[in-house]
Amino acid sequence: MVQVQELELGGRKLIIETGRMAKQAGGSVTVRYGDTVVLVTAVGADKPREGIDFFPLSVEYREQAYAVGRIPGGFFKREGRPREKEILSARLIDRPIRPLFPQEFRNEVQVFALILSADQENDSDILGMIGASAALSISDVPFLGPIGSVRVGMINGQYVINPTFQQLQESRLDIVIAGSRDSITMVEAGAREVSEDEIVAAIEFGHQYIKQIVEMQDELVKKCGKPKRVVTPAEKDQALIEKVRELTLNKVRAANILPQKEVRQDAVKQLAAEAIESLKESYPESDKTIKALIEEIQSQDLRERILKEGKRADGRGLTDIRPITCEVGVLPRTHGSALFTRGETQSLAVTTLGTASDGQRIEDLEGEYTKSYMLHYNFPPFSVGEVKPIRGPGRREIGHGALAERAVAPMIPAEDRFPYTVRVVSEILESNGSSSMASVCGASLSLMDAGVPIKSPVAGIAMGLVMEKDQVAILSDIMGLEDHLGDMDFKVAGTREGITALQLDIKVQGLTKDILQKALTQAHQGRMHILDIMTQTMDQPRTELSPYAPRILSLMIPPDKIGMVIGPGGKSIRALQEEFGVKIDIDDDNSGRVCVASVGAAGVAGAEACYEKIKWMTAEPEIGKIYQAKVVKIMNFGAFVEFMPGQEGLVHISELDKKRVEKVEDVVQEGQQIVVKLIKIDSDTGKVSLSRKQAL
């Protein structure tokens, strides 16, 4: 039976419907907002997956070309592997729902969001998040939801709920918020240097709408929700728990105060091996259980020390930041490079400058566009001392790269000021937490080293939380272990003026406004400290580009002259590139912007010469200006000359010479080069009159 729930939200109707499509899925809904429609399904496997100690959740998000009435390009004419936008949207759906399953649940669960219709005004990612919660809530999968999700913008100082794509262009803030009726579970934002107070206010503004979306789903569950499966926790062997605790507690406590990650990990591995050996006769084949118990003991001990003593595993206090070192210009032939090290996390950031044709062409449901700034994040296995197969970038790498890219993006100069394509690559050489924020810091330094005139350097910091009842500890600059055992991962990036990006994932209920405000304030203090150290190394972009970077000269030409520069079949533009040894890019938006690029500093003279020639070729005729002209045809009454490329005019016989001329051929011949002055342009016909006499 079809069930429908509706809600007026931001001047548009949000409609959740179930019972019409995909009825064999465990839970299935369509979510509509404007003319954007998303089908979301949730299916849980019947039996638990054997031999795993984690919850096997997978989220897929697919945009179909038919949603905007388009046929995919390429030879096969069908959708291929997920694009970056699809991967990022899948992660956005995954993050708020993952903590809301029973801890013991080991059945595979797949959530699938399929974009059926897109109106190119309302983003489908928010609908996917709402649909995932609704589909799971009405299914038999044990899910501790529902949750709601909204996007908030800020235009002219006013918060806007679920802004359209066009409104987001004007907005200083793009923040996605997910939460339950009582608390926030996930936040993701990009911003143009907004304050901490503005972030908190935006979250509060969005949460009032989240409550309404949760109520919608509650009503849907009442009408058609399936009975939930009962998850029976595995029985715990109390005797084994006590024996492991007795054998390892003191050793775990000793290991937990070792400041170095590798030394601490080796100590825990050693004590685990000793415990397994000691218990192998009484508890054979219990290796995994014993290791899991030791991990619990380690986590409990670290959390207690943080809450009671304010001390962390590496000896730091709650607000202390690990030692930081910054270096720039570390690679000899790259356009810009920086090495940023914070504790045991290290990013090598490398900047490369290219021309407009090096930009990334993207085709998605919002349309086609070109990205002229990119930040890519690589996480090789050696960064954590592991051996793994080397494949393409995974979802985590794409997500971390997108966050770092978003943090730095507001500082990248506009194309008309800096007409380069900019690519930054962050190679994570060591990792012990907060590598995405290290990428932000390294990228800022690398860009300045490359001479990119960024507005301000950007720094990032990851905050953590340990919370037990009324005890709360907020941690600055968390390392990997604290991310794992803590209750929050809160990444905040920005300049001295404000926040440019943030990402919040919370594993527990009860994140209050006070805790959020305190975490942001503490993050601000940490960010200022990091920026102080970064600016000691480099506080301004270099004034000169690398000698190995291309030099680009940009000019605007009349749009109707573009064809002249390109020539038939590209003949003219190829000839110019060959003659001057340059690369020429013409914007395809018919704006008339032309960029001439040399390869390295050595080619600057060629670029300048080509620039001047294009400028001359496309210039508009000016009355009173002297031109070098070529005689192309002689008539009884005068001579026609080409005084600009493709532009001819008449030198009347009376204007050929200062003395009287009886016959045109007595003064000029076809093919002869002469100097002429432009004396008139007929306003009706556009015919040009020139004079040799007045140019002599």
Question: Above 80 in pLDDT, residue 590?
Answer: no
Question: Rounded to the nearest 10 degrees, what angle do helices 261-279 and 287-309 cross at?
Answer: 130
What digits encode the pLDDT tens for the residues 223-282? 999 999 998 877 888 888 888 898 899 998 999 888 888 899 999 999 989 888 888 888
Q: Average pLDDT for residues 571-587, to the nearest whole number?
A: 89
The band of 600, judged by pLDDT with boundaries at 50, 70 and 90, is: low
**For position 571, which CATH number holds?**
3.30.1370.10
* % of the chain with per-residue pLDDT over 90: 69
Residues 208 and 332 in one domain: no
What digits encode the pLDDT tens for the residues 71-112? 988 888 998 899 999 999 999 999 999 999 998 899 999 999
Residues 495 and 435 in one domain: yes
Specify if 288 maps to a domain: yes
Task: Round to whole Å and give the CA distance between 611 and 553.
Answer: 7
Task: Round to whole Å and give the CA distance between 209 and 211.
Answer: 5
Tell the residue number behind the tokens 């919608």, with chain if given: 216
The band of 546, judged by pLDDT with boundaries at 50, 70 and 90, is: very high
Task: Round to whole Å and give the CA distance between 458 and 402.
Answer: 15
Amino acid (one-letter) located at 297: I
Please answer whether residues 300 and 242 qualify as being in contact, where contact means their C-beta atoms are separated by less than 8 angstroms.
no
Q: Domain of residue 641: give its range.
A: 626-695
Please tell me the predicted confidence (pLDDT) of residue 231: 87
Specify if 168 maps to a domain: no
Q: Where in 34-183 does DSSP place strands (E)?
A: 36-48, 57-63, 107-117, 148-155, 158-161, 173-179
- DSSP designation for 37: E
Question: Above 90 in pLDDT, residue 509?
Answer: no
Specify if 511 maps to a domain: yes
Please tell me the predicted confidence (pLDDT) of residue 617: 84
Question: Rounded to the nearest 10 degrees, what angle do helices 435-449 and 513-537 cross at?
Answer: 40
Residues 414 and 521 in one domain: yes
Q: Average pLDDT for residues 342-356, to the nearest whole number?
A: 96
Please tell me the predicted confidence (pLDDT) of residue 111: 98
Closest of 539, 544, 603, 547 to residue 577, by C-alpha: 603
Is 587 within any annotated ligand binding site?
no
Please tell me the predicted confidence (pLDDT) of residue 661: 86
Specify if 185 maps to a domain: no
Residues 343 and 384 in one domain: yes
Q: Average pLDDT for residues 553-579, to the nearest whole number?
A: 88
Domain final residue, candidates 569, 586, 618: 618
Task: Round to whole Å and give the CA distance between 176 and 92.
Answer: 9
Residues 287 and 404 in one domain: no
Tell the residue number behind the tokens 């039976």, with chain if given: 1
Question: Above 70 in pLDDT, residue 601?
Answer: no
Total number of domains in the chain: 5
Specify if 542 maps to a domain: no
Residues 259 and 206 in one domain: no
Specify if 77 maps to a domain: yes
**For position 292, which CATH number holds?**
1.10.10.400
* % of the chain with per-residue pLDDT over 70: 99
**For position 30, which CATH number holds?**
3.30.230.70
Task: Round to whole Å and give the CA distance between 174 and 150.
Answer: 11
The band of 477, judged by pLDDT with boundaries at 50, 70 and 90, is: very high
Please tell me the predicted confidence (pLDDT) of residue 558: 87
Residues 394 and 483 in one domain: yes
Concatenated DSSP letters of 385-454: T------S--HHHHHHHHHHHHHHGGGSPPTTTS--EEEEEEEEEE-SS-HHHHHHHHHHHHHHHTT---
Is 94 within any annotated ligand binding site?
no
Specify if 229 maps to a domain: no
Please answer whether residues 116 and 179 qualify as being in contact, where contact means their C-beta atoms are separated by less than 8 angstroms.
no
Q: What proportions of the chain, in percent to the nearest 5, are helix, strand and coil?
A: 35, 30, 35
Query: 494: Cβ–Cβ under 8 A, 6 or more apart, which residues?
Result: 191, 193, 407, 458, 459, 460, 500, 501, 527
What digits encode the pLDDT tens for the residues 104-146? 899 999 999 999 999 999 999 999 999 999 999 999 999 998 9
Question: Above 80 in pLDDT, residue 602?
Answer: no
Give 519-555 as a 3 state SS string: HHHHHHHHHHHHHHHHHHHCCCCCCCCCCCCCEEEEE
Q: Can you list the alpha helix ranges (DSSP code H) found in 227-328?
A: 238-256, 261-279, 287-309
Domain final residue, candidates 618, 649, 673: 618
Number of helical H runs and strand E runs in the chain: 14, 29
Tell the residue number behind the tokens 């943090």, with chain if given: 407
Domain final residue, candidates 537, 567, 589: 537
Q: Is the pTM of this model over 0.75?
A: yes
Residues 604 and 667 in one domain: no
Please answer whether residues 56 and 106 qualify as being in contact, where contact means their C-beta atoms are separated by less than 8 angstroms.
yes
Concatenated DSSP letters of 324-381: EEEEE--SSSSSEEEEEEETTEEEEEEEEEE-GGGSEEEEETTEEEEESEEEEEE--G
Amino acid (one-letter) located at 144: L
Higher pLDDT, 559 or 518: 518
Q: Average pLDDT for residues 306-326, to the nearest whole number?
A: 95
Residues 264 and 334 in one domain: no
Residues 359 and 499 in one domain: yes
The separation between the first and the last C-alpha atoms of the chain, rounded to the nearest angstrom, is 93
Residues 608 and 644 in one domain: no
Please tell me the predicted confidence (pLDDT) of residue 50: 86
The band of 443, judged by pLDDT with boundaries at 50, 70 and 90, is: very high
**For position 681, which CATH number holds?**
2.40.50.140
Mean pLDDT rounded to a whole number for the chain: 93
What digits encode the pLDDT tens for the residues 357-395? 899 998 888 878 889 999 999 999 999 999 999 888 999
Residues 72 and 211 in one domain: yes
Specify if 197 maps to a domain: yes
Please tell me the predicted confidence (pLDDT) of residue 239: 86
Question: Above 70 in pLDDT, residue 582?
Answer: yes
